Structure 1
């Protein structure tokens, strides 16, 4: 913690410069997607997932992640973010986890995520090829993280849905 006002201002300037450099680097090297609106709620979840993949490419703090993601919001999504920031305590930055939670609460109804989890739990190969089943399994497993968070669990759920003929 800075001990005087001059040190505090210098620390703030350094953080601002670091954030600017990081945002420039991220924009140049990662080609992050812009988010305006979601015609389907899961498009918002896909945008979050893509942003998190971009964050894996660079080193940034949990605060810089939310600042960078906010720069990718346009139109109604940008207005939503401005409203979110207006209700935050002054001088308290938003973490990525807080941003993601608020974004999901606004764009993805709880019922949609529950429906996707139910779809995963009911998934069976049926008349699909194994490759089609693998694709569907991988897609739906992102909504059932607690069921596939270990190799053993993932294998169990995958095998459970395969045709017994195999």
Structure 2
């Protein structure tokens, strides 16, 4: 990736079907997106659903370098979710694959369809812990060092697989 690329962090989760396999395959597919290269990945983690129902989730975070602008990256991620059979019958429904842009460079983005940094990144162990595993010193634009939010998620159960 050239200097024009941006580092982005993608939250990956699934709790339907072969959730573990879907997360692992999605990680590989991120490396095949146009103008994008996978440059880091966390371990897999098991977590209970938060504000949702269904089976436990398998979660991970991927770091990519991409030349895709944020809105186009979102479109590519949503197409990948559909490829994996994602359905959205209701808010926070169980899913075969969920891909979220957690961070996109140092940008703060607020549109009708995209909110970056992800609005619940600092409140969810399943996103924050894998992110910190990739980059323990990462800062969240407009919020500060990511590790400073650990006390707020300490009560959330998360198991490294």
TM-score with structure 1 setting the length: 0.27
* Higher RCO by CA contacts (8 Å cutoff, separation 6 or greater): 2
TM-score with structure 2 setting the length: 0.28
Larger helix share, 1 or 2: 1
Structure with max Cα Rg? 1
